[in-house]
Structure 1
Amino acid sequence: YPFQFFTQASIRMSDDPELLEAMHEAGFNHVFCGIESPVKESLKFMGAQKNLQGDRSLLDKVKTLQSYGFEVSAGFIVGLDADPDDVAEQMIDFIQEAAIPVAMVGILGVLRDTPDYRRFEKAGRLVRGIKYSGDSGLFRKELSFVPKVEPDELFRRHQQIVSTIHSAEYFFPRARTLVKRLGRHAMRPRQVGRPEIIGALRSFWIQGVKSSYKREYWKLVGGTLLKNPRRFPIAMRLAIQGHHMVTVTQQSLRVAKLQTFCEEALTVFERLGKAKDAMMPIPARAGEMLASVAGRLSPAKSVTAAKNNAQVLLSAATAQASKLKAEYRSQANHQLREFRGKLENLVNEYATETSGFDN
């Protein structure tokens, strides 16, 4: 039969060579494992210590699966109480060394009727009103529990991991390592037809000519074609997959950047309304977007000055949203509408204050 199979299973399957042999012969070539964390203490905290069973490391277990020709994808979680301060660096290093092309990294979410839910409820650390669904957006700042670290630090760690592993500088070298490490060829390799050829030609143009990461692209695609041509279809699939990962992450980062700017801008706008006679300093930790327009803001000595500040901030937010690809603009447009409405409300409030502005 002309099929290849993909499954989700425990990383402990690497301890069963008979099972792995049978899976390879049946046509399996891809497995997803819930590795969760490379940190032993974090795995124990979440009750996933079974991943540590045996005398082999998690890295060795991944390599064993790859030696049978299985590409390994994996899920990881940050935000656990036992996470060390350098959990982001440890997770990035593990994913890179393990050559896991697609790593799904998310912040811990607390689902009802789970041990985590009962634990956090008992400790008074559930966030009421937040119903975790498992799909809250790549960089959405929403937590269903109170973390041990400051929320902003947790969001920073998550963003650091995802933006790093899904950058071209990290994804393509990881894919090259996987292509070299796969030990067996597929029992039933996929046939290459017209759709695959058209897809490859489009990839050559979009990624190999027009992209900003063309050098990394050709190291993977061209290098595989020259040194390991039987793996070329895998390299092409990974390259196209990489384009998706890089693009989605870049666009999501821009949406997150816009959200951060809107939050900071509203705070600064309110402060300017109270600084009638002197310019209040922009917070030292302000994002680069806010810092770039700070020189165009002024103390709100009048309604006109307040409106000017609002226009400066709104123009900056609109410019950021315009950089997004069309398919990512709906979320940004929603943020812009909310931002515009809040600015208008603040201007109206200032205008009606008894000690407010001279027009």
Structure 2
Amino acid sequence: MTGLYLINPVPDSQAYFGADSFPGGAWGGVQIVADLALPTLAAMVPPDLPVRLCDEQITPVDLDAPEPVIGLTGKTPQVGRMLELAAAFRQRGKVVVIGGPYASLAPEDVRPHCDVLVRGEVEEIAERLFADLRDGTWQAEYIGTRADLAASPLPRWDLYPNHRALMGTVQTSRGCPFPCEFCDVPTYVGRKQRHKDPPQVLRELDALYAHGYRSVFIADDNFSATRARARALLEALIDWNHSRPDGPVSFTTQMSIDVARDADMLRLSARAGIQAVFVGLETPSADSLRETGKRQNLQADPMEMVGRFLDHHIMVISGLIVGFDADGPDIFDRQRAFTRHAPIPVFTLGALAAPSGSPLHKRMVESGRLLPDQPYGTGQPWSTNIIPAQMTTEALLEGVTALARDLYHPDAFADRVLALVNRLGPYQGPPPAASPAPLPPLWQPLQDEVTQVVRGVVTLGPAEKAMVSRLGRHVLTHRPDALPLLRNCLRFYAQIRHVYAKNGFLTSF
């Protein structure tokens, strides 16, 4: 073997956290969050084997690639494109290797489409896998263990098109202890969290900083799950981020709502530079939360907990799910009431879906309620692969569509942005650099495109134009320090409206 071509396929449909609303063009596509799998895997390839990366969200796949071995990875929303590429490369005589979350959770779906199937985490089997590929003695299947994260190498960001990603990525832990029925994470990486120690995390952040990133997503399934370890890492991040010569990094991560009861964790998070968190509130229905095993959401009033994040200048993004067994036809109005005055501009609304490997998937199969041939993606309002208990699938999707329309009406979105801005506490993170280095020329086009996307919101219609004017006047008058946050909210809004329009159920107001 003389080389590997590693590919992260585009999703089969647009996503809330995608960048499909960006113009792209001559500069290529855009990733909101840089893909971590490709650079990490590339770092495990022996130095005598050439390796090339393709994040298809940024650059087109080279179907005429000279490399004899093609590596594909993907999650549930990427399955269609992943298998399409596998077929195309096998027709060209390439050896196709498929690994990653979906291949690990649904190996029977993937096995017929590849020459080599890699299940599980790759760190502790990488040496044998790549040696076998190099020597032409590869096996049909390799099964990785849950790795010691100390063995995870420094990602090869030098091979990645960093100038086309808004945020860098670091993973400091794997696993989540919470047994949410609809989630496949514990099946894939376990309920017992494994961690990188702070020096290893800081080495990865040093590399991202050197490549130009000033915004980083901490891609942990639940950053706050192991509280003592999270505190130790936050202390290290505070020291690191306060000493950046060209200004601090802003962090985004995922936490469970129960962390809001820990004032010290919120204080440390804010001081470290965490400015946004994704929190899965999911539903106002206590019965649905109990049903799905999300009992941590039952310990306090969710909006009070959200307010505690905001008091520390940490914006909350939240997931909403409709279609639990306990959800009757009244759930749509209950969700409307739940979100109407919430200081949460961005909700990722979706119909309940059962991803392969999740406990919910197993239960739906056993009860005869799985729609096996139905295309779906987790966190999408236009599709599901389950038959709900108290309504038809059609009624579920119609109700979610109407809820999405109400949720992202310009007036409703503006109300939630203003609720956020008015509640947001003072910034507590690292101070800006006195004389920050100018943005590298290669990175400037992406920032210009962000501006173009944000300005494009006013072209969606008169209601959207009035929304932007209302928000701009209020923020400039009352909270000019929140202008970057407003810009980010409008970028999200542009993407969500683009996604909804592309899927044909919300085009204009």
Q: What's the TM-score bracket when you normalise by the shorter of the two chains?
A: 0.5 to 0.7
Deviation string for 1:77-120 (max 9, x for gaps)? 11111013221122122223222111111111123443323333
Deviation string for 1:209-253 (max 9, x for gaps)? 77422111111112111122122222232233323323432443x
Alignment of 1:1-359 (within 5 A): 1=244, 2-53=248-299, 56-130=300-374, 134=378, 138-140=381-383, 142-188=384-430, 202=452, 206-208=456-458, 211-212=461-462, 213-252=464-503, 255-256=504-505
How far 1:147 sits from its partner (Å)?
A: 3.8
Match of 1:284 in 2: none
40 and 190 in structure 1: CA distance in 2 versus 1, 3 angstrom threshold: farther
* Equivalent residue letter for 1:144: I
Q: Residue 253 of structure 2 contacts residue 276 of structure 2 at CA under 8 Å; is this kept in 1?
A: yes
Deviation string for 1:15-72 (max 9, x for gaps)? 111111111111101000111111111111111122112xx31111111111111110
* Equivalent residue letter for 2:482: R
Q: In structure 2, how many angstroms separate the alpha carbons of the residues matched to 1:219 and 1:51?
A: 34
Q: Residue 110 of structure 1 contacts residue 132 of structure 1 at CA under 8 Å; is this kept in 2?
A: no
202 and 134 in structure 1: CA distance in 2 versus 1, 3 angstrom threshold: closer
Q: In structure 2, how many angstroms separate the alpha carbons of the residues matched to 1:227 and 1:172?
A: 15
CA RMSD of aligned residues (A): 3.0
226 and 40 in structure 1: CA distance in 2 versus 1, 3 angstrom threshold: same
Q: In structure 1, how many angstroms separate the alpha carbons of the residues matched to 2:369 and 2:453?
A: 48
SS of the aligned residue for 2:486 comes to: helix
113 and 174 in structure 1: CA distance in 2 versus 1, 3 angstrom threshold: same
* Equivalent residue letter for 2:408: H
Q: Residue 45 of structure 1 contacts residue 82 of structure 1 at CA under 8 Å; is this kept in 2?
A: yes
Q: Which has the higher strand share?
A: 2
224 and 87 in structure 1: CA distance in 2 versus 1, 3 angstrom threshold: same
List, as ranges, runs of 4+ consecutive aligned residues in structure 1 with deviation greater than 6 Å.
Answer: 189-194
User: Who wins on radius of gyration, i.e. which is larger?
Assistant: 1
* Equivalent residue letter for 2:297: N
* Equivalent residue letter for 1:161: L
5+ unaligned residues in a row in structure 2: which ranges? 1-243
Q: In structure 2, how many angstroms separate the alpha carbons of the residues matched to 1:128 and 1:211?
A: 39
SS of the aligned residue for 1:98 comes to: coil
Q: Residue 74 of structure 1 contacts residue 100 of structure 1 at CA under 8 Å; is this kept in 2?
A: yes
128 and 134 in structure 1: CA distance in 2 versus 1, 3 angstrom threshold: same
The number of aligned residues is: 253
Greater Cα offset, 76-85 or 119-128? 119-128
126 and 27 in structure 1: CA distance in 2 versus 1, 3 angstrom threshold: same
How far 1:206 sits from its partner (Å)?
A: 3.8
TM-score w.r.t. structure 1 length?
0.62
5+ unaligned residues in a row in structure 1: which ranges? 258-322, 325-359
Q: In structure 2, how many angstroms separate the alpha carbons of the residues matched to 1:117 and 1:127?
A: 10
Q: Residue 381 of structure 2 contacts residue 400 of structure 2 at CA under 8 Å; is this kept in 1?
A: no
* Equivalent residue letter for 1:158: V
Q: Residue 51 of structure 1 contacts residue 58 of structure 1 at CA under 8 Å; is this kept in 2?
A: yes
122 and 230 in structure 1: CA distance in 2 versus 1, 3 angstrom threshold: same
